[in-house]
Each structure stands twice: as C-alpha cells, then as structure tokens.
Amino acid sequence: MIFVTVGTQLAFDRMLRVIDEWAGSTTPTPEVFAQIGPSEFVPKHIEHKAFIEPTEFAERARAADAIVAHAGMGSILTALTYGKPIVIMPRRADLGEQRNDHQLSTAERFKGRPGVFVAQDETELPAILDSLKDLQAAEPIPPFASPGLIKAIRDFIDEA
Amino acid sequence: MTRKKKRILAVASGGGHFIELLRLSPAWSSCETHYLTSLPGHADSIASEARLHIVRDASRWNKAGVILMAIRIFWLLLRLHPRVIISTGAAPGYFALRFGKLFGGKTIWVDSMAAEDSFSLAGSLAKRYADLHLTPWPDLAVAGSRRYEGSVLG
C-alpha cells in the first residue's frame, strides 16, 4: 500500500493528478490511499479522503510500503520514525499552493538523506513512482529528539 | 515531602508542528503538562496524564480569527499561569509565549525544522519573547541569541 498525504491544511492537486494518472496507467493497479485535503480534484484511480485524524495518519504511515507527500515536516518525521521510504514534492507559493516557499528549502535540506527522495516537480514524479518498489528506507529514527536537545530544554525548565 | 510539579504549557498548531513538539516531550516528563493545539485529534498522541486545550487556528490573513485566537490564548494563560511555555510554532505559539511572559512565565521557542528565517512570521515575532531560542539546524545558530543543542530527528 502506498500512502499519499498533503497535510492538514491545503490541497495539492499538482501532485495528486500525477499520482492518480500514474495509478490508472500502471498494471497491476497499485494500491494507493490518499489524504487529499480540501481538494476540488476528485481522483479516479485511488482511494481517497479529505482529512484523517492524527491516529489514522500514524497507522496508515506505519502500514504503508512507501509514502508520497508534500514536503511537510509532519509527513517527513512520520516516515522517518517508522522507517518508511518517502517521496516528497515541495509546494510552491507562486502556484498558490502555500503562502511561502518553505517547502522548497525543506526539500533541499532533506535531499540526499537516506530514505528521502525528492521530486522537484510534477515532471520528476512519474519516474520516481515507477521505481517506488525499489526505494530503500533508512533505519527508523528514534521517537524523540537528540539527548542533547532534550537536556538543554530540561535544564532550562529545571532552572525556571 | 512531595514537591509540587512545575506546570508547563506546550504549544503547537496541529499537524507537523505538533509532531515536532512531541519529539521534545521527554524534556518535561516531570512537569504537570498542558498542551495547546488546533487539532483535537492530537488527544490520542499525548501522555495520558497530560491535558489538551484546543484553540482554533487562523491564518495571518484572517484578522478576526487571529484576534479571537489571541483572546482565547490570553484567557488560557491567565487561568493556567504556567511556569514554562514552550512552542515549535506557529501563531498559537507566538501568542502563548507573549502572554505567558506577561504573566511571569519562562519561555522557550524551538524553530520548526521547516522554518527558514525569511519564512516564519510567527517565529520572527516570537523570538522577542523567548528566554531560550533554539534551532534544529546547526548552520542557523546565531551566537548569543539562537542556540543549536541537537537535532529534532534524534
């Protein structure tokens, strides 16, 4: 199962259309579930829902073979925590997909990290989807931040 | 003798910011913990003894929504009076730090992993009210103001 997610706020049809088309033209038809946000585009070839609760989000990510998502930190952290390969495609402000281009810089930050695969735009996505089965996940990251960061915060709280 | 637990309010809008916030949560495991977020579904992901408060998130373009959110957060801070307020973003975190500090709390702002300087309005406003300002990326540390102490990734 491939888990597609566009996050809690906005639609991301530029990514969804490509995934839907890809699913429709691939044999055997891949099993895909997509959380599509407040989208006007209705996918024809994949199971979809506008929103899911955080618990279902975590469960679907855990059960997935691979995750395809906007370049949001919630999606990336969840994939890394469960040790799933994730394909991220950044939203763009000039296309009205987000207020700013922070996802472009997030994609840049995570590019080349084991288990994270960047599709810079919709033209790069189909080839990555074709190779989805071969994408290697990284070892799961720990469930919490680094001990150094935790300690810095705890020390500050103790002093407060 | 039992010492009264320190009260902390941990704040993040629903979704990615809240997932980042929870990755820091061992830091306040000994505190009386209150969370504030915009997505009620996060109730299932927090420690069972922690309290969850909900505020409706508003984009910066929706003025009435922002004012309503600010008022709700003001009252929550007045009522809870937390010793420490921590946030990973965004707008609810800014208001929580600002009002929390007003009522004598100590404040921590941890930049989101997604927040490059030029993009985060809440972050650039909030850091004025942060007693401790941390960044999750070493290259974004600024001597004397924004410290890098380790990665959110673990």
- Residues A22-70 pLDDT 10s: 999 999 999 999 999 999 999 999 999 999 999 999 999 999 999 999 9
- For B79, half-sphere exposure in the C-beta direction (CA atoms, 13 angstrom radius) is 8
CB within 8 Å of chain A, chain B residues 107-146: 108, 110, 112-116, 118-120, 131-132, 134, 136-137
Residues of chain A found within 8 Å of residue B134, distances taken between Cβ atoms: 149, 152-153
Q: Please name each of the domains of chain A with its CATH number.
A: 2-159 (3.40.50.2000)
Residue A5 has pLDDT above 70, yes or no: yes
CA dihedral in degrees (B60, B18, B124, A80; nearest 10)? -120
Inter-chain contact A9–B15, Cβ cutoff 8 Å? Answer: yes
CA dihedral in degrees (A35, A40, A44, A45; nearest 10)? -30
Q: What is the pLDDT along chain B (154 residues), one digit of tens a residue?
A: 567 899 999 999 999 999 999 999 999 999 999 999 999 999 999 999 999 999 998 766 688 999 999 999 999 999 999 999 999 999 999 999 999 999 999 999 999 999 776 677 888 899 999 999 999 999 999 999 999 999 999 9
- The closest alpha carbon to B11, from B121, B71, B98, B78, belongs to B98
pLDDT tens for residues A81-96? 999 999 999 999 999 9
- Range of lowest pLDDT (A15-19, A97-101, A116-120, B28-32): A97-101
* Residues in chain A whose Cβ is within 8 Å of chain B: 7-9, 53-55, 58, 72-75, 77-78, 80, 99-103, 105-106, 109, 141-154, 156-157, 159-160
H/E stretch holding B93 reads: helix B91-102
CA of A75: which chain B residue's CA is closest?
Answer: B16
Inter-chain contact B150–A145, Cβ cutoff 8 Å? Answer: yes
B35 and B46 Cβ atoms separated by less than 8 Å:
yes
Residues of chain B found within 8 Å of residue A54, distances taken between Cβ atoms: 14, 18, 39, 41-42, 44-45
Residues of chain A found within 8 Å of residue B132, distances taken between Cβ atoms: 152-153, 156
CA dihedral in degrees (B30, B42, B98, B109; nearest 10)? 60
A70 and A103 Cβ atoms separated by less than 8 Å:
yes
Which pLDDT score, from 0 to 100, does residue B62 have?
Answer: 84
For A89, A97, A127, the CA distances from A13, given in Å and listed in that order, are 12, 9, 18
- The closest alpha carbon to B106, from B4, B3, B2, B6, belongs to B6
The structural architecture, per CATH, of the domain B7-140 is: 3-Layer(aba) Sandwich (3.40)
H/E stretch holding B107 reads: strand B106-110
Inter-chain contact B15–A102, Cβ cutoff 8 Å? Answer: no
Give residue limits of the domains in chain B: 7-140
H/E stretch holding A49 reads: strand A47-49
Phi/psi for A129 (5° steps) reads -65, -40
pTM metric for this prediction: 0.96
d(CA B39, CA B53): 9
d(CA B72, CA A85): 40
- β partners of residue A49: A35
Q: For chain A, how many helices (H) and strands (E)?
A: 6, 6
